[in-house]
Structure 1
Amino acid sequence: MILPRTPGSLAFRLFLSAVVVTALILLVVGVVLSSLYRDGAERAFDRRLDVYLKTIVGGLATGDMPDTGELPEPQGLTDPLFLFPFSGWYWQMSRLDGPEPASRRSRSLPEGGLPSLEALGVVERPGGVREGYAPGPEKQMLRLVERTLDLGQDGRYRITVAGDASEIEDEITNFNLALVGTFGVLGLAFLLTVLFQVRFGLRPLVRIREALSAVRSGKAERLEGEYPEEVAPLVAEVNALIDANKEIVDRARTHVGNLAHALKTPLSVLLNEAGNRDDPLAVRVRDQATLMRDQVGHHLERARMAARVSVVVSVCDVIPIVTGLSRTMEKIHRTRDLSIEVEVVGEDIRFRGERHDLEEMIGNLIDNACKWAAGRVFVRVAMEPRGASDRAYFRVVIDDDGPGLSPGKRAEVRRRGRRLDESKPGSGLGLSIVHELASLYGGRFDMNTAPLGGLRTELVLPAA
């Protein structure tokens, strides 16, 4: 199952991108819708105020002015909100000319009256109407509609109608809450949809990863199965790469075999000819031919190693190889009465590589320990604790109770062909081959002092 687990995963990046994009889209759309709804709510509120304004203007324009100079009471304003003090709904008429400007206001409006939008700098709209917000009595926020009326000889008047702006804000707040709730549900549904798409859309990549793991572990030779057309070319290219690597290995093995056959025959002839004579030239030819044979064997083996580990490797069990080699070495050195102990920590330890290479590495190390041991060899096999990487490793430790090696001599025997004691059989290539093979497989080979008093060799190799 694909879930956004770690910041470095593709699923996490896709899910995070979807969250960011969704949040931005919903934020922009929400702001636009809220702004449009505010404009609509203000227009609806202004139309209501405009009805009251036209009622007052109509009554003032058609009515007779009292001889007392007072402004007439508007007719048709039956809304009781204009009667209750501080109700938030007010009207006001003011005469702008004349020796003693008169004014009249609703019963709900206290002393002081309403502010002038013209004085506040509000621009007049077509039709001579101004609309805007202004503070009212008791610091109420009011929505005002104001118009200046010129009746000629009857004078100039300013008529203002105001309503409580909290009604607009309440409507907008309720709309915004509903909008947030709706967008929250939509956003959650969208993110669940994206999560579903990420999970099932990236499933072919998980199948490819599992198939590659099977190929690398030796359980399969190619990527098998049906894949979507988007990733099918990738699968085809990977299979082509696997086939090309196998072909390269086959060609390399063929060339190595041909070279080995071409070189071994002349060297065997030289050794046979030199072996029948005891003169100094024959001895020198025999020694150099033997060295050449060992060196050729070493380099051919190294070429075979590089060819094997450069491609997808197989898998083999470690425990049977270690126990089998230990029994074989006991038989080879039975005249020395050696004791070889094997300790295994854990089960099902498998080497990610060629069985022949593992046998050569462990066989060389056990054989070397048996040559130098006084009477006891100890072999321990265990899995390594997993580190930061996902790769698993196992460790093979071989101790002997022989004379051991100083740090300087340990570095010297790593060089191919170096033998510290000519009395012991061998070409001096064993530890060098172990070191090179371990490096090719991405492992390591170390030498230290053993608790038994002799040499400890440690081999760390990749596990399956």
Structure 2
Amino acid sequence: MPRRRPLSLKFRQLLGASLALVAFLGFTGYALDQAFREAAYSSLEQRLQNYIKDYYNGMEFLRNGALDMPQRPPDPRFSRPGSGLYAGLIAHRLRWESASSLGRDLPPPTMMRAGEMRFEGPLPYKDADGLMGEVYRLSHTTIWETPNGDVPLTFAVYEEAGYLTRQVGVFRRALWGYLGLAAGVLFLVQLLVQYWSLKPITRLQRDLEFVRNGLGQRLGDGWPKELDPVVESINALIESERSHLDQSRNTLSDLAHSLKTPLAVLRSRLDTDTNFNELRRDVSAQVQRMNEIVSYQLSRAARSGHALFAAPIPIEPRAEEIVGSLEKVYAGKGVLCEFDIDPASRFPGEIGDLQELMGNLLENAFKWSQRRVLLTVKQETVIGYRRPGLAFTVEDDGPGIAPENVERLLQRGVRGDERVQGHGIGLAIVQDIVRAYRGEMKVDRSSELGGARFVLRFPPLF
């Protein structure tokens, strides 16, 4: 079954931001709606309380026990039948309703404890035509002092539920309308922000296409800091691949050029009248020469590349292995090799390159030293980089290298002393590997041992 293709970064960002936007606006709308409903209920309750207080201030009981209500009610709607605002009172053998209650069968208030107030609703009621409606009711029970003694009474004020419902409905329509408009505007802003924030990704894709089509050599500069490590790694990979390709071409070219002479000699010997023994000797010599050429070029090609993203390799165990082997080879000299290696130091490359570096430098030091060799490895931490830099130092107490001879000795095939066995390519190999890792090599005199000192520095990595 084919693997499902992952969602694009643009779609992921748009989907995530849209879901967050919908959730935020939805929660905001719900919270505002609930807050408005609670405020509307609180305002209604407070308004009904004020009506009860106004009625209390204007009514009184006469000496004959009759109830005298105020001539002008707190709100004109109490005088208009079916206005939606009603009032009622119950006491012992007494019941009163406002003129607006005419034709309305309102739920009567019930006696409560003195001083108790209760807000209820919506409560159902029926009008004169038999139609059902709903009202909110605020009831209050008190003890009223009259000429004939204290009278417990309950006063209630009603308001049609439709007023509050319509008020909440108007607010909801305005709220969700404005939130919908805000969502549309924010969505457009989100698209613009997405285009702006992902523009470097689009540029990176375009630059990679240019490089792949041969229209560019590397990715440009001026990237956001989050993309700097990626761009740096891609440029390093591009340059590494080009270097490998150039090295392969050079190796093939060198191999072909080196084989031309032996092949020409063989051809000329075959074309001439040469006795069998002499021909055999010449062919053997030229075959041996070609074998040496091929071996050298293969060795050179094998050392030309390195893994750009290889796992860091502990240095101290490898150094111990190499020094152990060299001590056996140079046992007659009795050379003592001292270590000053940071236990946390790691080589950010291939194990073969690490062995070539330390093997050639340490062998060179063992070869030229009198009694002592010193290997120092330190980390060079730089803030903002993923991997620290690295510094190798190999010193010996030998004769050292004159400054004017350093450049010549680093050339391939050149030896410091023709009487000393070797091929003169060890230091050149070290220099090639150091360059491949974008490092630098310095050769001078050791201040501690007096002989040669080789210092290799590898830069930190993002």
Structure 1 length as normaliser, TM-score? 0.50
Q: Assess, with a 3 A threshold, how the Cα gap between structure 1 residues 7 and 118 changes in structure 2: closer, same or farther.
A: farther
**1:158, distance to aligned residue in structure 2 (A):** 0.9
Distance (Å, rounded) in 2 between the aligned partners of 1:266 and 1:118: 126
After TM superposition, give the deviation of residue 31 of structure 1 in Å: 1.2
Q: Distance in 1 between matches of 2:109 and 2:268?
A: 126
Q: Does 1:103 align with 2:102?
A: no
Aligned counterpart for 2:79 among listed residues 83, 86, 103 = 83
1:241 CA displacement:
1.2
Residue deviations 1:122-159 (CA, integer Å, cap 9, x gap): xx9x9632112122334222121110112364221111
Q: Classify the secondary structure of the residue corresponding to 1:140.
A: strand
Paired with 2:221 and 2:69, the residues of 1 have a C-alpha distance of 91
Q: Secondary structure at the match of 1:77?
A: coil
Q: Does 1:164 align with 2:171?
A: no
Give the residue type in structure 2 aligned to 1:93. Answer: L
CA–CA separation in structure 1 for the residues paired with 2:24 and 2:132: 38
1:24-423 to 2 correspondences below 5 Å: 24-60=23-59, 63-65=60-62, 67=64, 70-77=66-73, 79-95=75-91, 98=92, 101-109=93-101, 110=103, 112-116=105-109, 128-133=116-121, 134-137=123-126, 138-151=131-144, 153-258=149-254
The 8 Å contact of residues 150 and 157 in structure 1, kept in 2 or not, is answered as yes
Is the 8 Å Cα contact of residues 55 and 75 (structure 1) preserved in structure 2? no
| Cα gap change, 1:112 to 1:70, in 2 (>3 Å) | farther
Partner Cα distance (1:185, 1:19) in 2:
14
CA contact 2:54–2:74 (8 Å) conserved in 1: no
> Against the structure 1 CA distance between its residues 139 and 111, is the aligned structure 2 distance closer, same or farther, given a 3 Å change threshold?
closer
Partner Cα distance (2:238, 2:105) in 1: 93
Specify whether residues 250 and 143 from structure 1 end up closer, same or farther in structure 2 by C-alpha distance, changes over 3 A only. Answer: same
Paired with 1:264 and 1:66, the residues of 2 have a C-alpha distance of: 142
Give the whole-Å Cα distance in 1 for the aligned partners of 2:187 and 2:115.
Answer: 50
Q: Deviations over 1:176-199 (max 9, x none)?
A: 111122212222221111111111
Q: CA deviation at 1:28?
A: 0.9
Conserved 8 A contact 1:129-1:147: yes
TM-superposed CA distance for 1:76, in Å, is: 4.1
Describe the shift of the 1:180–1:89 C-alpha distance in structure 2 as closer, same or farther (beyond 3 A): same
In the other structure, the counterpart of 1:447 is none
What secondary structure sits across from 2:99 in the alignment?
coil
Relative to structure 1, the CA distance from residue 192 to residue 7 in structure 2 (aligned partners, 3 Å threshold; closer, same or farther) is farther
RMSD: 4.2
Q: Which amino acid in structure 1 is aligned with residue 119 of structure 2?
A: E
The secondary structure found in structure 1 opposite 2:83 is: coil
Provide closer, same or farther for how the CA distance between residues 207 and 163 of structure 1 changes in structure 2, counting only shifts above 3 A: same
Which residue identity does 1:213 align to in structure 2?
Answer: E
Counterpart contact for 1:117–1:131, Cα < 8 Å: no
Tell me by how many angstroms 1:261 deviates.
6.0
Cα distance change on mapping 1:75 and 1:55 into 2, 3 Å: farther
| Gap change, CA 1:228 and 1:78, over 3 Å in 2 | closer
Give the AA of the match of 2:154.
R
| Preserved contact between residue 110 and residue 154 of structure 2 (Cα < 8 Å) | no
Distance in 2 (alpha carbons) for counterparts of 1:107 and 1:144? 17
What SS class does the counterpart of residue 154 from structure 1 fall into? strand
Retained in 2: the 8 A contact 1:92–1:113? no
Secondary structure at 1:219 match in 2: coil
Counterparts in 2 of 1:127 and 1:40: CA distance versus 1, 3 Å: farther
Deviations 1:243-270 (A, max 9, x none): 1111222233344445556778778878
| Structure 2 residues not aligned, in runs of 5+ | 284-289, 305-462
Q: Which residue of 1 aligns with 2:373?
A: none
The verdict on how the C-alpha distance between 1:178 and 1:118 changes in structure 2, with shifts beyond 3 A counting, is farther
Moved more, 247-256 or 174-183: 247-256
- Paired residue secondary structure (2:100): coil
TM-score if structure 2 supplies the norm length? 0.51
Measure how far apart 1:48 and its partner are.
Answer: 2.2
1:217 deviates by: 0.8
Identify the residue that residue 23 of structure 1 maps to in structure 2: 22
Q: Are 1:55 and 1:76, in contact at CA under 8 Å, matched by a contact in 2?
A: no
- Segments of 5+ residues of structure 1 without an aligned counterpart are 1-5, 287-292, 308-464
User: How far apart in 2 are the matches of 1:7 and 1:92?
Assistant: 70
Measured in 1, the distance between the counterparts of 2:216 and 2:229 equals 19
Question: Match for 1:142: what amino acid?
Answer: V
Instruction: Summarize the Cα distance change of 1:155–1:117 in structure 2 as closer, same or farther, 3 Å threshold.
Output: closer
Q: What is the deviation of 1:17?
A: 1.9
What residue is the counterpart of 1:418 in the other structure? none
Aligned position for 1:443:
none
Percentage identity across aligned positions? 28
Q: Residue type matched to 1:196 in 2?
A: L
SS where residue 86 of structure 1 aligns?
Answer: coil
What amino acid sits opposite 2:192 in the alignment? Answer: F
Deviation at 1:108, TM superposition (A): 2.2
Shift of 1:84: 2.9
Question: CA 1:105–1:265 in 2, change beyond 3 Å: closer, same or farther?
Answer: same
SS at match of 2:214: coil
SS in 2 for 1:151: strand
CA contact (8 A) 2:87 2:157 kept: yes
Q: Partners of 1:211 and 1:20 in 2: how far apart?
A: 32
Q: Is the 8 A contact 2:78 2:98 kept in 1?
A: yes
Question: Deviation at 1:29?
Answer: 1.0
Q: 1:106 to 1:259 in 2, by over 3 A?
A: same
